[in-house]
Amino acid sequence: MNIGKRLKIVIALIAIILLIDLFAGNYFYNLAIKREQKTFLQGNEDLEVSASAMEVFTKGGWRDWVASQDFDEWQLQTFDDLTLQGYYLPSKTDSNKTVIFGHGYLGQATDMGLYAQYYYEELGYNIFLFDMRGHGKSEGDYFGFGWHDRLDVLDWTNRIIERVGTDAEIVLHGLSMGAGAMLMASGEELPPQVQAIVADSGYTNVYDLFQYQMNQMYNLPAFPVLSTTSLVTNIRADYSFFEASALDQVKKAEVPILYFHGKEDTFVPSEMAKELYEQTNSHAEIYLYDNAGHGEAYAIHREKYQTILSDFLTRFITVL
């Protein structure tokens, strides 16, 4: 075989490999990023919910509480011309304290009612819930995993300040992907009214999260498919997995951050919370919970969680 034929074969093989890689990148984009029903998570052992947590998630009285509240419905036009949906509930008595909640992947605003009820009934906060882009009643054909959402959080924060007043004191409280959004917002120039951040079951960055999950779910190495998926995401959703980093953002944070995470979380490992905590530039605290999987800490250890949360907020939110 002459050199010319060998070169053609090599080029053809490279082209085939690149096509396969591009196909895989688009496949995983559609699988994880594109807005559509995600059947691949059904039966995922890493997301199996303990019986005690499931009882709270499905039958807890908090769902009736959310349904019975008279939320004001707000809309927000984003920097990239999407319309997002939010829900505001003023406190029983006038208060300048407000909590903004961010829900998890495939969730919706009202899922955070589990936490909102405590803030509202026991701490006297105004409550704001919103459907993150690509979720619930909000527009968007992709999931941002916190990166574009961080800018949405800033816009919603400004809306809260307009509603409550310049003396507003605001807490950003996120769960899983919502935690990612709040942590990514922490590195931006936040209004001085943002006094604290609570991040439950957060991740370091999108690349590391998917790298871990590809190995867990498919026993696949990250390279080269994950880099190609990031490129596809950059083209189709205008962000890359490498830039979407909570870890880089908390290194610039100036607001106190409270981390919660379940020790038995095999979907987002608790090591990520530890790394975030260690790299946070501002005051940070971390609490890891035994026998708690992904997003289960509050459901299983409610009293302890509430005590720690209340103590943290008491120290960093001014009582007026």
Asked whether the CA dihedral 26, 184, 130, 75 is positive or negative, the reply is negative
CATH code for the domain in which residue 276 is found? 3.40.50.1820
Rounded Cα distance between 89 and 98, Å, is: 9
Helix residue ranges, H only, the chain: 3-32, 51-59, 62-68, 113-121, 147-164, 177-186, 206-218, 225-237, 246-250, 270-279, 297-300, 302-316
89 found inside a domain: yes
Mean pLDDT by 10 residues, the chain (320 residues): 60 54 75 79 58 80 94 97 98 96 96 97 97 97 97 98 97 98 98 97 96 82 83 94 97 98 95 98 98 95 97 82
| Tokens 């919502």 belong to residue | 178
Overall domain count for the chain: 1
285 found inside a domain: yes
111 found inside a domain: yes
Please spell the DSSP secondary structure of 51-104, one letter per residue: HHHHHHHHH-THHHHHHHS-PEEEEEE-TTS-EEEEEEE--SS--SEEEEEE--
- So what's the pLDDT on residue 50? 74
Strand 83-89, strand 72-77: pairing: antiparallel
123 found inside a domain: yes
- So what's the pLDDT on residue 320? 40
> What is the biggest distance separating any 2 CA atoms in the chain, rounded to whole angstroms?
86
Please give the angle made by the CA atoms of 188, 190 and 194, to the nearest 5 degrees: 140
115 found inside a domain: yes
pTM to 2 decimals?
0.91
255 found inside a domain: yes
| Tokens 């990520």 belong to residue | 272
Dihedral angle over CA of 39, 43, 47, 49, nearest 10: 120
Give the closest residue to 119 by CA, choosing from 159, 171, 59.
171
Q: Which domain holds residue 53?
A: 47-205+244-316
3 found inside a domain: no
